[in-house]
Amino acid sequence: MTKKPTKSTISRRSFVAGTTAGAAVLATTSIGFPRMARAEDTVKIGLIHPVTGFLAFPGAQLRYGSELAIADINAAGGVKSMGGAKLEALLGDSQTKPQIGAAEVEKMHEAGVHAFSGCYQSAVGIAASAAAAKYNIPFSIDVGVSDTLVTRGLENVFRMMDGYGRIAKDAATNLGLINKAAGSPAKTVVIVHEESLFGTGTAKLMGDYLPEQGLEVVEVIKHANPTRNFDNIALRIKSMNPDIVMPINYPGEYVLLARTLRQQRVDFAASYSVLGGGFNFKFVQEMTDLAENMIDVNHWYDPNSAFGQELRRRVEADGKFFTMEIYTAYNSIRLLHDAFERAATTAPEAVNAALASSTMDPLFMPYGPTRMVNGQNMGSRAVAIQAQNGDVQLISPTEFASAEAVFPRPKV
Amino acid sequence: MKSLKSRNGLLCLAGLVLALLIPQIIDNNFYIDVLTLVLFSAFLGQSWNILGGYAGQFSFGGVVFFGTGAYASSILFRSFGIDPWIGIFGAIAAGAAMGAFIGFISFRYGLKGSYFALITLAFAEFFRIIANSVEFTGGGVGIFIDYNPSLTQLQFDNPAGYYYLALLMTVISLLIAWWLERSRFGASLVAIRENEEAAEALGVNAFRCKMYAICIAGAMGGAAGTFYTQKFLYLDPPIAYGIGTSVEMLLVTIVGGLGTIFGPLVGAFVLHSINEVARHYLEAPGLSMIVYGLILIGIVGFLPNGLIGLFRRRQKKMAGGDDA
């Protein structure tokens, strides 16, 4: 005898009621969900990055680099001055929104966080670090180019890398040197930048600094985020016939612009980007022909450092790309660890004082020792890197260079 | 029926007392902060609800009022040193003026339905590009507000301060909606929503009523802009005029219940709760947003009148049972 199929006992009405009730119950039971401090022998580091949304790739890289540093530090004995206290990551997703970033600070504060590292976008960093300032919790900016992050007088905010003020100056100087060394073939520049604080602020500074190097900025083109078609911009650049194209934008747009310029057969002496979001091993290895001889000015590891080479090997063995985000996140955690080690406590005042007096060895970065002035590390500097034969070479400054610049690039 | 009304009144009063006591009851700044965001969303949603829910003028660019108010008070503060307490009135005036401008252009030429929705979207995009291109808004660099917690700066070193400010704004927005439901003007808006031609045939001045509605929505959006900038201390064109805020405004209202007093508040509470719970329990990047989206589809798909509609249906059923 065949058993008659049983009619579902869940009606549409009861499903709706159940869903609503479920949401309400979840909302109610969520009271108390931030994780409470489990033990006093851990130092909790809040990681706030955009791991979802249009910046998910760099956000995930930053999270990975931070967790890698935490694992390495714990494997080496944790915070020794605190009896070997281990670092523990509290993971946060800003979803690229300042209000979510600030809410993550509140959530992690309730979970007993001792320091923060984040946030990639300056707007999120500004909101989140101000929220952390209410509790004086140390906040290390791993990536965030706006100088406002460290010029607001907040005593809990520190940045290991440069802001766009110093990076733009370095970028213009390096371009001037490369151009002069080649006999000054380049005279004109077109800047293409994304529309937010990062792109607009950097482009404005480049517009000021490039004429000092004998380079005329013939056009500044702004584009929205996201932009998925660069045909018009490429044709506009073609009509200008500049010697240098200078992209200042996020990863997706960076790669798309490069591809469209190739498709439209726009010829120029060099693509010289500043903090080019898409210039990394992923781009260079996956689009070798397109990337060949493109130049970027960014924070990069010292290719002559044994530790840097070993770290790259480990990251690549883990199936990841060794991007700039990994170095900056790794060093941001090292900076915090060094401060906890010297402060021998998690008390915010003591840790902030230790951060302010940091003289940490940059380990695998082409920096000098850390030297904080109002929260900004004055020992850091950006370098010029170039895609050559499917790899990335450091081309300037010469004391860290792994190859000579190819400039102007051969005709494509 | 009278007892039902008095019971609802008592419930509202109890809710307000509870809301006032929450910072004393919950010793957890994260929840206070989340509740602040819920109230902020509810307030923005209510501004959309007045125009979209009561007057039936669906807008895809409600953010334009928020952005205009945010820029108005920020520029008054940064460039002229005018405290945000005064600046918020400038923001309200700027939002209302923007409402009058968009409303006059749209309603004067009889735009309604999807045409009105699209023109509001176009205005939001237009002002985003303008804000990106002119100097006095800071262009793409945006405007930074100094962190200086004090009452005069409308900045607080305790999340409870922002919570009470958001609560005050939400209560005002609820009172506006309550007044609408009981006034001749509100009845005119509902009549326009149901059938504009019929309403005009009955003597309702549709153009004037819609202009008033969009000005009220604009004023509320402007006030929300000041709140946002003083809390998050930074404003740029994508924040001010980005479509995400417009979507949030209409979403909380539709989920809660269009054209109802408590719809935006209920919608904001449920959506934020689901989002926070999903984010907490699902650590894989993006998974929380997928779950959030699925639940949202479920609510919107199965509850065309929103959660308030479900509540009313239940209430009617219970009342029917009592009568029997």
B171 has pLDDT over 70: yes
Contact A47, A90 (CB under 8 A): yes
Contact A150, A261 (CB under 8 A): no
Range name among A93-97, A173-177, B73-77, B313-317 with the lowest pLDDT average: B313-317
The separation between CA B141 and the C-alpha centre of its own chain, rounded to angstroms, equals 27
3-state secondary structure A333-390: HHHHHHHHHHHCCCCHHHHHHHHHCCCCCCCCCCCCCCCEECCEECCCCCEEEEEECC
- State the average pLDDT over residues B126-144: 91
- The CATH number for B240's domain is 1.10.3470
Residues 6 or more apart in contact with residue A322 via CB below 8 angstroms: A281, A301, A311, A312, A315, A316
Helices A348-356 and A324-343: crossing angle in degrees, nearest 10, is 120
Q: Distances in Å between the alpha carbon of A207 and those of A198, A258, B126?
A: 14, 21, 26
Q: Kind of pairing, strands A115-118 and A86-93? A: unpaired
Task: Write down the pLDDT at residue A179.
Answer: 95
Kindly report the average pLDDT of chain A as a whole number.
89
Residues of A in contact with B273 (CB under 8 A): 23-24, 26-27, 30
Q: What is the pLDDT of residues B190-249, one digit of tens each?
A: 999 999 999 999 999 999 999 999 999 999 999 999 999 999 999 999 999 999 899 999
CB atoms within 10 A of CB B319: 12
Q: What is the pLDDT of residues A333-367, one digit of tens each?
A: 999 999 999 999 999 999 999 999 999 998 999 99
A16 has pLDDT over 60: no
- State the average pLDDT over residues B2-13: 79
- State the average pLDDT over residues B98-122: 95
Calpha distance A6→B143 (Å, rounded): 63
Which residue among A17, A31, A134 sits closest to B31, beta carbon to beta carbon?
A31
Task: Say if domain A165-298+384-400 classifies as CATH 3.40.50.2300.
Answer: yes
Residues of B in contact with A34 (CB under 8 A): 28, 30
Query: Which token pair is A222?
Result: 């702004």
Q: What is the pLDDT of residues A225-283, one digit of tens each?
A: 889 999 999 999 999 999 999 999 988 899 999 999 999 999 999 999 999 988 988 89
Nearest chain B residue to A145, by CA: B141
State whether A200 and B140 contact (CB < 8 Å): yes
Q: Kind of pairing, strands A376-377 and B143-144? A: unpaired
Nearest to B286 by CA among A77, A95, A373, A302: A95
State whether A200 and B277 contact (CB < 8 Å): no
- State the average pLDDT over residues A116-137: 94
- B positions 83-142 inside 8 Å of A (CB): 132, 139-142
Q: What is the pLDDT of residues B8-42, one digit of tens each?
A: 889 999 999 999 999 999 989 999 999 999 999 99
Inside any domain, residue B272: yes
Contact A297, A247 (CB under 8 A): no
What are the residues facing A385 on neighbouring strands?
A: A296, A394
- The C-alpha of A110 sits at a distance from chain B's nearest C-alpha, in angstroms, of 6
Calpha distance A182→B317 (Å, rounded): 85
Domain chopping of chain A, boundaries: 42-162+305-381, 165-298+384-400
B158 has pLDDT over 60: yes
Query: Which token pair is A251?
Result: 């990863």
Is A402 at the interface with chain B, CB within 8 A? Answer: no
CATH for A42-162+305-381 is 3.40.50.2300
Q: Side by side, which strands form the sheet with A157-159?
A: A86-93, A42-49, A115-118, A139-141, A157-159, A376-377, A372-373
Calpha distance A61→A286 (Å, rounded): 17
Residues of A in contact with B310 (CB under 8 A): 16-17, 20
- B positions 301-320 inside 8 Å of A (CB): 302-303, 307, 310
Residues of A in contact with B146 (CB under 8 A): 152
| Structural domain of B82 | 29-323
Strand residues in A144-280 grouped as ranges (E):
157-159, 188-194, 216-223, 244-248, 270-274
State whether A152 and B236 contact (CB < 8 Å): no
Inside any domain, residue B42: yes
Inside any domain, residue B97: yes
Query: Which token pair is B6?
Result: 């008095």
Contact B308, B262 (CB under 8 A): yes
Q: What is the pLDDT of residues A285-313, one digit of tens each?
A: 999 999 999 999 999 999 999 999 999 99
Contact A333, A117 (CB under 8 A): yes
Buried/exposed code over A156-172 (b: 16+ C-beta within 10 A; e: otherwise)? bbbbbbbbbbbbbbbbb
Q: Distances in Å between the alpha carbon of B71 and those of A197, B76, B144, B225, B289?
A: 16, 8, 11, 8, 30
Buried/exposed code over A351-380 (b: 16+ C-beta within 10 A; e: otherwise)? bbebbeebebebbbbbbeebebeebbbebb
Residues of A in contact with B303 (CB under 8 A): 16, 20
Calpha distance A389→A266 (Å, rounded): 21
A27 has pLDDT over 90: no
Residues 6 or more apart in contact with residue A82 via CB below 8 angstroms: A41, A43, A340, A341, A344, A345, A346
Please state the ipTM of this predicted complex.
0.80
Q: Which amino acid is at A394?
A: L
Q: Do domains A42-162+305-381 and A165-298+384-400 have the same CATH topology?
A: yes
Inside any domain, residue B9: no
Inside any domain, residue B24: no
Task: Write down the pLDDT at residue A366.
Answer: 93
How many domains are there within chain B?
1
Q: What is the pLDDT of residues A186-232, one digit of tens each?
A: 999 999 999 888 899 999 999 999 999 999 999 999 998 889 999 99
Is B274 at the interface with chain A, CB within 8 A? Answer: yes
A:B CB pairs within 8 Å: 129
Helix residue ranges, H only, A30-97: 56-75
Query: Which token pair is B85?
Result: 């307490």
- B positions 214-243 inside 8 Å of A (CB): 228, 231-234, 236-239
Q: Give me the percent of chain A exceeding a pLDDT of 90.
A: 79
Calpha distance A246→A210 (Å, rounded): 11
Inside any domain, residue B8: no
A121 has pLDDT over 70: yes
Inside any domain, residue B150: yes
